[in-house]
Amino acid sequence: TGALSDLSLDIASAHITTFGEKVIDTFYVTDLTGQKIDSPTRMATIHKRLIESLEGIAPERGGKSKAAAE
The pLDDT, as a whole number, for residue 59 is 60
The pLDDT, as a whole number, for residue 34 is 95
Query: CA angle 40-31-36, nearest 5°?
Result: 55
Does residue 15 surpass a pLDDT of 70? Answer: yes
Q: What 8-state DSSP symbol labels residue 7?
A: T
Structural domains of the chain, count: 1
First-last CA distance in the chain = 22
> Burial, 27: exposed, middle or buried (Cβ in 10 Å; 0-12, 13-18, 19+)?
middle
Does residue 60 surpass a pLDDT of 90? Answer: no
pTM here? 0.67
